[in-house]
Amino acid sequence: MTIEAPAGTSAPPVLQADHVTKEFGGLVAVNDVSFAVPRLSIVSLIGPNGAGKTTLFNMLTGLYKPTSGRILFGERDVTRARPDVITSLGVARTFQNIRLFGAMSALENVMIGRHSRMRAGLFGSIFRPPWVRREERDVRVRARELLAYVGLRQEVFGQLAIHLSYGDQRRVEIARALASDPTVLLLDEPTAGMNPQESLALTDFMRKLRDELKLTILLIEHDMKVVMDVSERVTVLDHGEKIAEGPPAQVRAEPRVIEAYLGKQD
């Protein structure tokens, strides 16, 4: 690895799951999982399909409430907080199956992402005093900056999200997440559907995000090359339980991980 990784465990955790369990009816999707994301680190969450990774993501972002356990953002307990509150605290995310607002332009999508940082309410919107005009102008400028930053071509800024290419949609989704000025960025399978070159570019981009925007990144990833390349720590889930955790090289050698991925070798 070429970058100097911030010491994995010594940095104070910015996001933490503390003995988190999620049950859906009789199904235990996540079972007593504890893990911490250190500040300014890049952490991967891996595991076979159905291991509970996305469920854990949804709990971290407030979409699901844990059956038991706690979620901490910095010092603050956000276990029962609403998703929009968690977003405004500084946790932003993307989705596994891209969830852009299809009938909105790329620019408008990013403007939506800035919602929690804007103040205009009902009467501000109707009467549009100078500060609201300024806010609207600023959010447009900011959205354009972010779209340029994630590498979207200027010509497609105004295009509807559904008309964008797959790669551009992924870019816009990241820009939309960045628009809320997050401190933690959660990426759910960001390289899904990408070719090796694109994956490599995204890997570099994640480091750039961390270094330039001072972001902490947690990603769910299936591409082992990306995982090994980018992450300082890896947490492995299987059947809702944490089976391994540590630096990538160490996790890769773990027998239980190999078993979970390749099946038991008798």
Partner 1 sequence: MTSGVSGPNPPAGNVGELVAQLREWRAAIESRLPPWSGRALAAALIIGGILLPLFFTQTSGFLEATLIALAYVVMALGLNIVVGFAGLLDLGYVAFYALGAYSMGWFGSDFFFKEHVHVLVSGIAAHEIGIHLNFILILVCAVIICAAAGALIGLPTLRLRGDYIAIVTLAFGEIIGTLAENGTSIHVGGGQTLTAGNLGITAIDAPYFPGIGIFNSLKLRPWYWLILAIMLVVLFINLRLRDSRLGRAWVALREDEVAAVSMGIPLVRTKLKAYAIGAAFGGVAGVFLGAYYTVIDADYFAFTFSIFVLSMIIVGGLGSIWGAVLGALLLSYINYYLIPDVFNSIPHTFGLNFNLSQLSFGIFGFLLVLVMILRPQGLFPERRRKLELTEAIASDDAQLVEGGL
The site for partner 1 (CB under 8 A) is made up of 61, 63, 82-85, 87-88, 92-93, 95, 99-105, 107-108, 111-113, 115-118, 120-122, 124-128, 132, 135-136, 140-141, 144-146, 148-149, 154, 157-158, 160, 162-163, 176-177, 180, 212-213
Q: How far is the CB of 239 from partner 1 (least distance, A)?
A: 25
Whichever of 149 and 261 has its CB closer to partner 1, that residue is 149
Helix (H) or strand (E) holding 109: helix 106-113
R_g (Cα) of the chain, nearest Å: 19
Distance CA 262, CA 200 (A): 25
Q: How far is the CB of 58 from partner 1 (least distance, A)?
A: 9
Whichever of 65 and 163 has its CB closer to partner 1, that residue is 163
What strand order describes the sheet that includes 27-38? Answer: 27-38, 13-24, 68-73, 76-77
Whichever of 45 and 132 has its CB closer to partner 1, that residue is 132
Q: How far is the CB of 247 from partner 1 (least distance, A)?
A: 30
Whichever of 24 and 256 has its CB closer to partner 1, that residue is 24
Q: Which of 229, 230, 238, 233 is nearest to 258 (CA)?
A: 238
Q: How far is the CB of 136 from partner 1 (least distance, A)?
A: 8
Total count of residues recorded for the chain: 266
With contact defined as beta carbons under 8 Å apart, do 10 and 40 qualify?
Answer: no
Whichever of 60 and 243 has its CB closer to partner 1, that residue is 60
Angstrom CA distances, 264 to 29, 81, 125, 208, 254, stand at 22, 40, 61, 38, 13
Per DSSP, which regions of 63-106 are E strands? 68-73, 76-77, 91-93
Q: How far is the CB of 102 from partner 1 (least distance, A)?
A: 6
Q: How far is the CB of 252 from partner 1 (least distance, A)?
A: 32
With contact defined as beta carbons under 8 Å apart, do 183 and 216 qualify?
Answer: yes
Whichever of 27 and 103 has its CB closer to partner 1, that residue is 103
